[in-house]
Chain A
């Protein structure tokens, strides 16, 4: 239960009066406040700075140092205050957590000192409020990243992937970007006709200043090669790196130069060499490392591959149809440019995409008619798949934009998970206390105070009041809270059998031997007492009201004897009270294979019994 609303517990309990007229069963007795403590101020002296707060404020979080009895270790008798020899600045945030229920992380604070203080005061950092959680996580990550045990290779790879981690990486990032741009511009300018003497024909700059351009090209390729080799060295998985798109682009960008170096002299393949120079333009794709938008475009095109394919296919169909028609329509006319069907392809494409260059026009009437039909249908065919592609792009683009908001959502989800965990924690706390709950009531009847104190020490007053509230709800609806596992079991069994008292499947009982000596419930046994307890609760709740008070009291009187011995085990969720009622149950249950009840009182009551698996322990009545 979030203790920030602990102040509202009295309200929730008062509002429970609304259930009373509806309930059919009597309500359980409310837990009494043993010592009606007035709300008192306590003084916390942290390294000389005094903080004061109400005691109730600190009691809101009983599993922290200040909320539990652990703070008594720091109590100073002479000055009547609690003294902590810790940092008072961080303590401010800690105390505010109790006051407001939200833990804030001050930005000026060093992350490791903050963590230490939180650990000292028993506060889990996960409950830092959403306002400060991002900052906290970022600083934590930075701090962890500064660990010196990252190898040089790993640091290099990280620097390549996130240029913002260090200045060197940023410098490298910008330098490579600059050289990519220079290289692309060089390639472009190479072909521009430079002004030359009027009598000579215009030559491209590339041929005029061959040496300069060659030097420029060499420099760029040197840098790209070095970069590629460094990335290859730093990559955690070289094989995967070599297969990635970016590395292929890198290779394709620098390969023409080296191939050119190798085969400058050979005239036959110089044609191929010229073609290879085309690939130099792929250097521009290296920019996609620097630009998020380019990457998004690439993803979009990839994701729209099927739509693009459909577009292409339909276009091809239409082109072939119309080209054929136009060819045969224009066959008659003389001096027509439609010399063959493939030649008509060009006209069809130009017309369907509404380009209309005008280098090929139909001259016959039939040709003109079919030409106009062609252009009209072209508009339709192209317009159909385009919106799909556009919507894909916008979806991916917005998805990417929302990546930041998604990070915030992850925080929210983590927070919800934390809340869920605490909820299950509180509901299982309730189920645990149910085991002791009946015992509490029984004790209230006998009003034996010592056992009461020993028992209720395990739950704070707030918790016991909350549990009482839940218990009242159970009584109102005549249904009980159970945990998830038991619910599923009983749900299945509801379909199979309907015994008067439900028992969980025996298979889950295999691990539990009925020996009282093995009463310390090992961790994997804990669900079993949970599961078995409600099974006994059911007849209990029905038999409870029917039994005379005397008999209950007589069974209860035995309990105090055993609790004094087993009080150490009380913290474990033993079905302690079950034994006192088991005498009533035995008659009802003997016919059904029942789970053996593991109780701490076993050795007192049944010396011979524990060896059998299925014997229900009978209390010595």
Chain B
């Protein structure tokens, strides 16, 4: 019938040439269907599931700065494959990026940011990447990829000093972004965010040393309960003076285990 006639599809003789063995035959390999959108064409090639992943990232602001922590593990599913991956990336002297989720997408984001920052330096117009600018740019990037139905399956945590005030924000793979005094990504949301929020809300502004101790306690908790966690982790502290990186190892106390059910 005329409404079935598609001028872009090759016509073949349905009486003489047709056979019953048209396995894997696809018109889509060599025809352009004018009504197919770019999204539909891409659906077969987009990232669906992450491959090498980073676990949780924890971050909160304290009196005079921001502190972030993330373990140095890249998991290949349940295999602890890459055991020295830095997931906290310094952008310039007042901005850092924390990344969780798919790590190849994280590398893509890191490369894009580094190129952008270098180009800004070359232009010599005095502009400098600030945490808020990076947060806004990351939102645009992540949301754009979401609209193409080809998301970057990473969580981006932007932290630093904005106008000498601590800044902390998160953008996820859907492009949803928010700013807060406490941000945790990954399974840490369920294991840590609740009780940390209570501590931080009820206490007055804590100082740098207390913040470090609190962060160590958070990471230890995640190490106890997250199956994809790792004992070695990286801590980053951003203040008006500098950006400081430390590598630490969790000192777990398993003595409680014998009194818990289902543990040997």
A binds B: no
